[in-house]
C-alpha cells in the first residue's frame, strides 16, 4: 500500500476519500484553492497544498500545479475523485510521467471512453446495444439537420467530452437546432475545453440505470450491480438507489446488464472502478449510453447494499493488489437510497444558493450515512458545483429505506442558505416514487402533478409565532434585510 | 418562556406574510392568537423553549413542534418550510403596492453569481420574455428574461461582473 | 401495528426509539422532566408529556405519571428503553392493567430475572453453568463471612435488584466485608429502592460476553449472537463489539453459548428482546451471570453485523406479529465496535462533567453510526447518567473497524464539557486491544501500562498558539475563570 | 491570518502552562516562536484560518492541524487533547507559589454535584487520605479525602447542598 496519497478534489468527495485513505493507514494530502483554505478536507487531511485562486481553471483543473504539489509533499499516488480532472487522460499520463500512480483506469481507457463517439463504436464492437445516433461529432449544420431528420425529433445534443449534463440539449424541432448547437457547444467548451457535440435519438421516458464495475490490473473484473438514477433535473441526478425497482421485479435484468457492462469494460482493457450508464425503456430494452471512468457521486448506495468499500478497493487496486472478490461472492442485501443535498432553491427553479451556513444539524442514527463536505460556519463558495452532502440510508426493504430517508431529512437542518431537503421529503411521500415508477421524466411529471398540501393552521401559526419570537432575539436569525430582497426577487421571478 | 423572557405582559401584535398569504398574530405570555385571511382565527396556549441557536421546541397542548429559523425569512416546522415575513402595518402596505406598479421595472439578479453575457443594449426595444442577461453561479447559467415588453432604460452591469442576489442588473421602461 | 407509542425514557435511547417508531409509521410521545424540557427526544417526537421535577424519583421513575401520560395522549403501547423502569415488573403490570401494551417481556419473566438469585436457580434448573455463590440475599454478617470464606476471597458483592454495576463491590479480605456490604447495600437502595445484596465467587480476568435473544409471543425464539463487553470501568461497559475476538477464533463457542442462552430464556417463558450475560474464563468455560430483560445500551453492534433492527422488531413483536426470522437465516457479517461517549473526565478518575455543550461536530461517513441524545447548545443535566451518545462503526474486518473508529473519534468535537473521546482514541491504538486480548481487568491493566506518548513539539506549540489566538477572540472560548479553577482542582486531585 | 486580523505587527509574548509544563510563546504576524522548558525552541511560519466558532485550520509548512478550543483550558489538536493556560508573568508566579504552601488547605468539589454525606466535623483531627465528604453527580459518588493530616478548620457545606466544580467544601489546617 502507498505511504502517502494526494486527493486532487474538493468538497464532500475529497472528505470521503481522505477518510478512506486514513482508514487504510495512509497519509493524506488535500489540495485547496483560495476559496477552500479552511475546507473540511483541509481540516481532516494530514497535509494540505495550495493550488491557486478560486476559479477551477486556476486551481483544481491545473495539471501542473497538482502534480507539483504531489511531488513537493512526496505523495506516491493521486486520487482524482469525480469531476475536475478525473476523466482527463492527459492528467493520468502526467501523473505516470512524474512517477506518481494515478488512482483510476489506464489513460488509454479514459481517452477512449472520454470520446462518447469512440465509446459507442467500442460498445457496438463488443456487442452491446447503443442508442441510435451519429458516430462522429457535428461538423456543419446541414449534416446535423440531415442526421436529426433521419433519427426523427426529438433528438438529444451531447458533448463528446461531456458528463453531468453539461453541453446537453433536447431539440424538438429543426428550427431550434442551430441555437441549441451553439449553446451546447459553448457550454461544452467552458466545461471541458472541448466544444464538440453530437446527436442522439432521444429515448422517451427511459430509466437511467448504471452498472458499477471493479477490476484489478491482472484482468480480474466483476460487476457490483446497478444503481437506478432516473430522477434527474437538468440532466443532473438527484436521487439514486440500489436495487433498482425494475431489477427487484426482474432480477435477470441485473445479470444481463452486468454482463454487457463487463463486455464493454473488458474491450477497453479497463481496470480499477468504473460505471457504465444505460437507458432502459419501458420494455426493459437497455441501451449503452456512456462509461464514466471514475468513482461516481452515487457510489455509496452500492457500498451500502454490497458492504464493499469502493474507494478502499480503488486504493488497493492502484497499489497493485489483486481483487480478491469473485463475482459469486457479491451479495446485494436490503435497499439503499441517496439524496444529493444541494445549495439551491427548489421553489425557484433550483437556483444556486451559495453563502455561509449559520447553523448545521446533521441526521444520524440507525441506517443513516452522511457524506458531507461542509460544517457550521463554512461559506459555500459560488465558484463550484452546489453539492453540499450526500444523504444515504440503508434498510432491509425499500419501503423502510424511504421512511428512514424521510426521518433523516426531517432531522437535517441547514441554516443560512437554501437547500433541497424539504423538496426531497415531498418526493419521499410521492405515490409514483413509492411505487418505484421512475423515468428520467419523473421530476417534470412530479412538478406537473405536485400539489402543495395545505398545512394544518396550527403548524402555520407556529411558523409565524417562531418568526415573531426570533425577531425579539436578534441572535437567532440573520438580519432581515436580505430577507425582503430575496422574497421580492422571488416574487418577481415568479411573475415572469 | 421566550415570551416571558422578552418581559412583556400585554399582547404584542404582528402582521405576517406567510407563503404569500397575509395573517395577523397577537402574542401574549405563553398564549397567542392567529388569524389568517380565509380561516377562522385560532387561539392557543403554548410553551416555547430555546433548543440551540435559532431553534425552539414549541409545545401546544402536548403536540411537539421543532422549529428552526433558517434565515432569509425561511422557517422550518417539523421539517416543513414556510416563508415568513414579519412586518409592522405601514411597511406591509408599502411592500404590497410596490408589486403592481407599471413604471420602469428593475431586472434583478436572482442569485449571487457572475454576469456571463449582456444580450441587450440601452435604448433597445425588447419583447416580454426576451433574454436580457446571462448570470452564472455554481456552474449553472440563468438567463434573465424581460418581465414585459418595453425599452431598455439602463444596463447597470457588464460581462464579468460579480453580483449579489437582488442587485439591479437592468431597467425596463 | 400500534397507532401511537409512548417512549418512557430520556437521552440517546429515547431518541433512538422515537426514530424507530417514526420509521414504523407510528406516532411517538416523548416524556420529559424539568431538566429535559428541550431534549432532543422532545424535539423529534410528535407529542411530549411533562412528568415532573428533574430527579428521576419524581419523573422517570414515577409509574403513575407515565401511565397517566400514555392515557392522556392515547398511546397504545409504552417502550421503556433501558434503565429507569425498564426492568420493573410492577411497571409492566401497571401498563397491562391500564390496557396499555408494555413493549418488552411478560412481567413474570421480568420479576423472575430481576432477582439475580431466582435467575441463578432458573439457570441451574435449565442446565446452564453459573458462577459459584449464594442462592439468597445476605441477611447477617456472620453468614456472609462464612459464605465468603467458603467461596474464597476475592468475592463479589452484588445487588439482587441490580444492574449497571450499581451496588457492586469487590472484597479482597474479610476485614473489608462489613463496610463493603454497607456501601453496596445503601447504593443499591438508592438505585433500585431495594438494598438486598448477595455474594458471588469472583472469576479472575474473565471476558464479559453476552448473547442477544429475540422471541415472539408464539414461542419462536432465536439468538443473534454475542457482544463482547469486557472493557468496563466501575462495572460500566465502555466499549462493546461483535463478533467477540474469542468467537472469531472459536466459532463453536457462539453456538454453544447461544443455545445455553435460549435454554434459560425458554425456561422463563420469555418473549421480545433480551440479553443473557455470561463470564467466559481463559479456558473458554462460560458462566451465566444474569439476564437483562430489556434492550441493551450496546444493541447497535448486533444490528450492524446482522442487519436486523432490534427496536423495530420489539415493536412488531409487542404488536403481536410473528418473528419471521429463523435461526438459520441469521448471518453475522463484518465487525462492529461501539464506544460509549460519556460526559466525564478520564484524566481525573472519570469524574462526571455535566454542563452546556458550546459546540458540537459529529462524526459521519462510511460505516459510522452515531446514536446521540444531545445537540449544540444543550445543557447536559447533572441529574442523570453521563451517557451522551454511542459511537458505533462497522467494517468488513475488526482491524478496519478499529481504524474507522479512530477516524470517527478524531472527527468528533464536543466543546464545553469533558468527554472520553480522546481516551477511546488511545485505546484504539493499544496493542492488547488490537490483538483482541480482552478481560474485565482490561482497563486497570491499560492504566498500569499506559504511557502518554510525548507529542511532537510542533503539535504542542500549535495547541499553545491556538489558545493564545483564542484569547484574542473572546467569542471563541468560554471565560477562562473556570479554567484556572478546574486546573487547580485537577492538580490538587492529582496530588492526593 | 488571525494574527493579521488582530492587527498587531510586532510579536506578542505569552507565558504558557501546557499539561503542567511551562513554556514561552511569542506570536508575530504568521510567525511564532515556542520555547518549552527542556526543549530547544522552535520557530515557524504559520497560517491560521477560522473554521467555525472556536475552530481553526493551522497550516505549518504544508502540515495541517485542525484545532478546536474546547473550553476550560482544553485544546484539541488533530484529536489530541492539551490542557493549556495562558498567563501574564505575574499571574503565573502567583499560581506556582500557591501549589506548595502548607497553611490551611481547601478541599474543593472536583465536579458539579450534590453533597450526599459530610463525614467530618469542625475541630476533628483527620489523617491524610481520610474520607471527609461524599459528593454525587450523574449517579456517581465521589469521596473527597483529606490532602494531609491535620484538623478540620471549617466545613463550608452540608448534606443535600448543590455544589459547583471548585467550590470550597471544607478547610484543613
End-to-end CA gap in chain B = 51
* A157-171, B20-34, B68-82, C135-149, range with the lowest pLDDT: A157-171
Phi and psi (nearest 5°) for A376? -65, 125
Average pLDDT over every residue of A211-240: 96
Length of chain D in terms of residues written:
173
- Axis crossing angle, helix A251-267 with helix A116-125, rounded to the nearest 10: 110
Between C290 and D165, whose confidence is greater? C290
Among C38, C46, C48, select the one facing B51 at the smallest CB separation: C38
Phi and psi (nearest 5°) for A321? -75, 155
Q: What is the DSSP letter of C441?
A: T
**Chain B residues contacting C, CB < 8 Å?**
47, 49-53, 55, 57, 59, 62-64, 66
Among C307, C365, C368, select the one facing A334 at the smallest CB separation: C307
Instruction: Tell me the nearest-neighbour CA distance from D76 into chain A, angstroms.
Output: 13
| Interface contact flag, A467 B75, Cβ < 8 Å | yes
Contact of C414 with C357, CB cutoff 8 Å: yes
Residues in chain D within 8 Å Cβ distance of A48: 59, 62, 64
A-C contacts at Cβ under 8 angstroms: 89
How many beta carbons lie within 10 A of that of residue D89, not counting itself?
Answer: 11
Q: Percent of chain A at pLDDT above 70?
A: 95
Mutate which: A365, A405, A476, vs C, most C CBs within 10 A = A365
Contact of A12 with A371, CB cutoff 8 Å: yes
- Judged by a CB distance cut-off of 8 A, whether residue C382 touches chain D is yes
Query: Rounded CA gap, C265 and C286, in Å?
Result: 16
Residues in chain C within 8 Å Cβ distance of D138: 343-344, 352, 354, 382-386
| Interface contact flag, A364 C366, Cβ < 8 Å | no
Residue spans of chain C under pLDDT 70: 135, 163-164, 473-496
Phi and psi (nearest 5°) for B90? -55, -50
Alpha helical stretches, state H, chain B? 2-6, 89-99
Position B89 scores a pLDDT of: 52
Position B88 scores a pLDDT of: 55
Nearest to D100 by CA among C486, C347, C495: C495
Taking all residues of chain A, what is their mean pLDDT, rounded to a whole number? Answer: 92
Residue D92 has pLDDT above 90, yes or no: no
C-alpha distances out from residue A43 to A32, A378, D32, Å:
11, 12, 21
| Interface contact flag, D165 C482, Cβ < 8 Å | yes
Position C218 scores a pLDDT of: 96
Position C324 scores a pLDDT of: 97
Residues in chain C within 8 Å Cβ distance of A312: 400
Residues in chain A within 8 Å Cβ distance of C407: 19, 22-23
CA dihedral D135, D140, D146, D151 (to 10 degrees): 30
Position C164 scores a pLDDT of: 67
Cell of A484: 425582503
Residue of C nearest to D20 (CA): C491
Query: Rounded CA gap, A165 and A159, in Å?
Result: 9
Query: Rounded CA gap, A256 and A67, in Å?
Result: 40
How many beta carbons lie within 10 A of that of residue D4, not counting itself?
Answer: 12
Confidence of residue D87 (pLDDT cuts 50, 70, 90): confident
ipTM: 0.85
End-to-end CA gap in chain D = 51
C-alpha distances out from residue C230 to C120, D16, D163, Å:
21, 40, 34
Q: Characterize C190-225 residue by residue with b for buried, 16 or more Cβ atoms within 10 angstroms of its Cβ, and e for exposed.
A: bbbebbbbbbbbbbeebbbbbbbbbbbeeebbbbbb
Instruction: Tell me the nearest-neighbour CA distance from A299 into chain C, angstroms.
Output: 11
Among C353, C413, C459, select the one facing D111 at the smallest CB separation: C353
Mutate which: B52, B53, B60, B78, vs C, most C CBs within 10 A = B52
Q: What is the DSSP letter of A221?
A: E
Position C62 scores a pLDDT of: 98
Position D73 scores a pLDDT of: 87
Residue of D nearest to C406 (CA): D79
- Judged by a CB distance cut-off of 8 A, whether residue A362 touches chain D is no
- Judged by a CB distance cut-off of 8 A, whether residue C457 touches chain D is yes
A495: buried, middle or exposed (CB in 10 Å: 19+, 13-18, 0-12)?
exposed
Residue of C nearest to D40 (CA): C457
Residue A33 has pLDDT above 90, yes or no: yes
pLDDT digits (tens, 9 = 90+) for D26-54: 998 899 999 998 899 999 999 999 999 99
Instruction: Tell me the nearest-neighbour CA distance from C45 into chain B, angstroms.
Output: 7
Position D88 scores a pLDDT of: 55
Nearest to A344 by CA among A380, A377, A373, A306: A380
**β strands within A190-323, DSSP E:** 197-201, 207-215, 221-233, 236-242, 272-280, 286-292
Between A235 and A372, whose confidence is greater? A372
Instruction: Tell me the nearest-neighbour CA distance from C180 into chain A, angstroms.
Output: 40
Residue B99 has pLDDT above 50, yes or no: no
Residues in chain B within 8 Å Cβ distance of C48: 57, 59, 62, 64
Rg, chain D, Cα only: 22
Position D94 scores a pLDDT of: 43
Residue A487 has pLDDT above 70, yes or no: no
Q: What angle do CA B43, A475, B7 make, to 5 degrees?
A: 50
Q: Percent of chain B at pLDDT above 70?
A: 86
Position B111 scores a pLDDT of: 80
Contact of A58 with A52, CB cutoff 8 Å: yes
Contact of A54 with A381, CB cutoff 8 Å: yes
Q: C358 in helix, strand or coil?
A: coil
What is chain D's percent helix, strand, coil content, to nearest 5? 10, 55, 35
| Interface contact flag, C46 B63, Cβ < 8 Å | yes
Confidence of residue A164 (pLDDT cuts 50, 70, 90): low
A-B contacts at Cβ under 8 angstroms: 216
| Interface contact flag, C459 D78, Cβ < 8 Å | yes
| Interface contact flag, A43 D64, Cβ < 8 Å | yes
Alpha helical stretches, state H, A244-328? 245-249, 251-267, 299-306, 310-318
| Interface contact flag, C377 B57, Cβ < 8 Å | no
Instruction: Tell me the nearest-neighbour CA distance from B49 into chain C, angstroms.
Output: 6
| Interface contact flag, A366 C25, Cβ < 8 Å | no
Residue A485 has pLDDT above 50, yes or no: no
- Judged by a CB distance cut-off of 8 A, whether residue C434 touches chain A is no
- Judged by a CB distance cut-off of 8 A, whether residue C84 touches chain D is no
Average pLDDT over every residue of A257-262: 98
- Judged by a CB distance cut-off of 8 A, whether residue A373 touches chain C is no
Q: Percent of chain B at pLDDT above 90?
A: 40
Residues in chain D within 8 Å Cβ distance of A29: 62
Position D90 scores a pLDDT of: 40
- Judged by a CB distance cut-off of 8 A, whether residue C169 touches chain D is no
DSSP count for chain D of H helices, then E strands? 2, 17
Residue of B nearest to A468 (CA): B86
| Interface contact flag, B85 A343, Cβ < 8 Å | no
Q: What is the DSSP letter of B159?
A: T
Annotated catalytic residue: which of A10, A254, A294, A398? A294
Among A303, A364, A366, select the one facing C366 at the smallest CB separation: A303
Residues in chain A within 8 Å Cβ distance of C315: none
- Judged by a CB distance cut-off of 8 A, whether residue C43 touches chain B is yes
Position D116 scores a pLDDT of: 85
Residue A12 has pLDDT above 80, yes or no: yes
- Judged by a CB distance cut-off of 8 A, whether residue C459 touches chain D is yes
pLDDT digits (tens, 9 = 90+) for B45-80: 999 999 999 999 999 999 999 999 998 789 999 999
- Judged by a CB distance cut-off of 8 A, whether residue C356 touches chain D is no
Query: Rounded CA gap, C414 and C425, in Å?
Result: 14
| Interface contact flag, C375 B52, Cβ < 8 Å | yes
**β strands within chain B, DSSP E:** 12-18, 21-28, 31-36, 42-45, 47-50, 55-60, 63-71, 74-77, 80-87, 105-108, 113-118, 125-126, 131-137, 140-145, 150-155, 162-163, 168-172
- Judged by a CB distance cut-off of 8 A, whether residue A359 touches chain D is no
Among D46, D112, D138, select the one facing C465 at the smallest CB separation: D46
Cell of C103: 413493549
User: Taking phi first (over 0 means left), then psi (-120 to 50 degrees means alpha), and beta for anything else, what does residue B19 get?
Assistant: left
Residue D8 has pLDDT above 50, yes or no: no
Residue of B nearest to C39 (CA): B51
D150 Cα distance to chain centroid: 27
Residues in chain A within 8 Å Cβ distance of D66: 43-44
Mutate which: B106, B111, B169, vs A, most A CBs within 10 A = B111
Q: What angle do CA C263, C269, C274 make, to 5 degrees?
A: 70
Annotated active-site positions of C, please? 294
Position D144 scores a pLDDT of: 83
Amino acid at each position: 500500500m502507498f505511504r502517502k496519497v494526494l486527493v486532487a478534489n474538493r468538497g464532500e468527495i475529497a472528505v470521503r476519500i481522505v477518510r478512506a485513505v486514513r482508514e487504510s493507514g495512509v497519509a493524506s494530502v488535500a489540495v485547496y484553492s483560495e476559496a477552500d483554505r479552511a475546507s473540511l478536507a483541509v481540516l481532516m487531511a494530514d497535509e494540505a497544498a495550495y493550488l491557486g485562486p478560486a476559479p477551477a481553471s486556476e486551481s483544481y483543473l491545473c495539471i501542473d500545479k497538482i502534480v507539483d504539489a504531489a511531488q513537493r509533499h512526496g505523495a506516491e499516488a493521486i486520487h482524482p475523485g469525480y469531476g475536475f480532472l478525473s476523466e482527463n487522460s492527459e492528467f493520468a499520463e502526467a501523473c505516470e510521467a512524474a512517477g506518481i500512480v494515478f488512482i483510476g483506469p489506464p489513460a488509454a481507457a479514459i481517452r477512449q471512453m472520454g470520446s462518447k463517439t469512440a465509446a459507442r463504436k467500442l460498445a457496438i464492437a463488443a456487442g452491446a446495444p447503443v442508442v441510435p445516433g451519429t458516430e462522429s461529432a457535428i461538423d456543419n449544420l446541414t449534416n446535423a439537420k440531415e442526421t436529426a431528420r433521419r433519427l426523427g425529433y426529438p433528438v438529444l445534443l451531447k458533448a463528446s467530452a461531456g458528463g453531468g449534463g453539461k453541453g446537453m440539449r433536447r431539440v424538438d424541432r429543426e428550427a431550434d437546432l442551430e441555437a441549441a448547437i451553439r449553446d451546447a457547444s459553448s457550454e461544452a467548451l467552458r466545461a471541458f475545453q472541448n466544444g464538440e457535440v453530437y446527436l442522439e435519438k432521444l429515448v422517451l421516458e427511459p430509466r437511467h440505470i448504471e452498472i458499477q464495475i471493479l477490476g484489478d490490473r491482472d484482468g480480474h473484473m466483476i460487476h457490483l450491480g446497478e444503481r437506478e438514477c432516473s430522477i434527474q433535473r437538468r440532466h443532473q441526478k438527484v436521487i439514486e438507489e440500489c436495487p433498482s425497482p425494475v431489477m427487484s421485479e426482474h432480477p435477470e435484468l441485473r445479470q444481463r446488464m452486468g454482463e454487457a457492462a463487463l463486455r464493454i469494460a473488458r474491450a477497453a482493457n479497463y481496470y480499477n472502478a468504473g460505471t457504465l450508464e444505460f437507458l432502459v425503456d419501458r420494455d426493459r430494452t437497455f441501451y449503452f449510453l456512456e462509461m464514466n471512468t471514475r468513482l461516481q457521486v452515487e457510489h455509496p448506495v452500492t457500498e451500502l447494499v454490497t458492504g464493499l468499500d469502493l474507494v478502499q478497493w480503488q486504493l488497493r487496486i492502484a497499489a497493485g493488489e489483486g481483487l480478491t472478490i469473485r463475482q459469486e461472492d457479491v451479495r446485494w442485501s436490503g435497499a439503499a437510497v441517496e439524496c444529493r443535498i444541494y445549495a439551491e432553491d427548489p421553489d425557484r427553479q433550483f437556483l444556486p444558493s451559495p453563502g455561509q451556513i449559520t447553523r448545521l444539524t446533521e441526521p444520524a442514527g440507525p441506517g443513516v450515512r452522511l457524506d458531507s463536505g461542509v460544517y457550521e460556519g463554512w461559506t459555500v463558495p459560488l465558484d463550484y458545483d452546489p453539492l453540499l452532502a450526500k444523504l444515504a440510508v440503508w434498510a432491509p426493504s425499500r419501503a423502510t429505506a424511504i421512511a428512514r430517508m424521510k426521518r433523516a431529512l426531517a432531522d437535517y437542518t441547514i441554516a443560512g442558505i437554501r437547500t433541497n431537503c424539504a423538496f426531497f421529503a415531498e418526493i419521499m411521500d410521492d405515490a409514483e416514487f413509492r411505487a418505484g415508477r421512475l423515468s428520467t421524466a419523473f421530476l417534470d411529471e412530479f412538478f406537473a402533478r405536485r400539489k402543495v398540501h395545505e398545512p394544518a393552521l396550527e403548524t402555520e401559526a407556529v411558523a409565524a409565532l417562531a418568526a415573531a419570537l426570533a425577531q425579539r432575539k436578534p441572535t437567532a436569525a440573520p438580519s432581515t434585510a436580505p430577507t425582503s430582497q430575496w422574497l421580492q426577487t422571488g416574487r418577481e421571478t415568479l411573475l415572469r | 418562556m421566550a415570551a416571558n423572557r422578552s418581559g412583556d405582559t400585554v399582547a404584542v401584535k404582528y402582521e405576517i406574510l406567510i407563503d404569500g398569504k397575509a395573517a395577523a398574530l397577537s402574542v401574549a405570555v405563553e398564549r397567542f392568537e392567529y388569524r389568517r385571511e380565509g380561516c377562522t382565527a385560532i387561539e392557543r396556549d403554548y410553551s416555547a423553549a430555546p433548543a440551540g441557536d435559532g431553534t425552539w421546541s414549541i409545545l401546544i397542548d402536548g403536540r411537539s413542534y421543532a422549529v428552526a429559523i433558517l434565515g432569509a425569512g425561511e422557517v422550518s416546522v417539523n421539517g416543513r418550510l414556510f416563508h415568513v415575513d414579519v412586518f409592522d402595518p405601514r411597511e406591509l402596505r408599502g411592500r404590497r403596492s410596490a408589486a403592481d406598479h407599471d413604471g420602469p421595472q428593475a431586472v434583478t439578479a436572482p442569485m449571487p453569481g457572475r454576469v456571463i453575457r449582456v444580450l441587450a443594449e440601452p435604448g433597445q426595444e425588447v419583447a416580454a420574455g426576451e433574454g436580457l442577461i446571462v448570470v452564472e453561479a455554481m456552474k449553472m447559467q440563468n438567463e434573465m428574461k424581460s418581465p414585459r415588453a418595453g425599452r431598455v432604460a439602463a444596463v447597470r452591469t457588464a460581462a464579468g461582473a460579480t453580483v449579489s442576489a437582488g442587485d439591479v442588473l437592468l431597467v425596463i421602461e
